[in-house]
Amino acid sequence: MKKPFKKIICLAFVASVLSSTAMAEYMTSVLSLDDARGLIAKGHTSADTLKVNVCMAVVDPSGSLIAFDRMDRAPYGCVDAAIAKAKSAALFRVKTSVNMQRVNGDEPAIASTPHMVPLGGGVPVTNNDIVVGAVGVSGATNAMEVKIAEAMVAGYGVIPAK
């Protein structure tokens, strides 16, 4: 009678340790303000190389803004667009260019989904396959915005979510 009880106690202990470790990893996998500033710095480098002036946003997994930057001479309209792209990429955990392909393909109705942005330039930031935030870029051509957003994430040393 004692052996089964010991096994149950041991299993319960191991399960609690493993779940605590997993929860701690999940809870600590977020972008800090310094991380966000580093992502924006990489965006500046990429935008300067492409000779464009853009707006760049970095959000947490809930889509809440962590950091934002509007380069000199960037269009005024790109402020909200950059934030919306970052929020969409974080909430849906997919590049906004994927949304664009879906809308232009057989799923045009998804464009009416709240917070869905069907334009390139939003890219999730992942750490150990967990979305820890996202970036959004606006103010240039779609191809340039995608390139800058992907450079922001790749330059930071994490892999963009697919």
Fold of 31-156: Beta-Lactamase (3.30.450)
Bridging pattern class, strands 65-70 and 130-138: unpaired
CB 102 within 8 A of CB 118: yes
Q: 29 burial class (0-12, 13-18, 19+ CB within 10 angstroms)? A: middle
Mapped onto helix, strand or coil, the DSSP state of residue 123 is strand
Instruction: Give domain limits for the chain.
Output: 1-29, 31-156
Alpha-carbon distance 90 to 107, whole Å? 20
What is the chain's pLDDT, residue by residue, as a tens digit (162 residues)? 566 655 555 555 545 544 444 444 445 478 999 999 999 999 999 999 999 999 999 999 999 999 999 999 999 999 999 999 999 999 999 999 998 888 888 898 888 888 989 899 999 998 878 899 999 999 999 999 999 999 999 955 544 455
At residue 137, the pLDDT reads 98
Residue 66 backbone phi and psi in degrees, to 5:
-105, -45
Residue count of the chain, please give it: 162
- Written as one string, the DSSP assignment of 40-52 is HHHHHHHHHHHT-
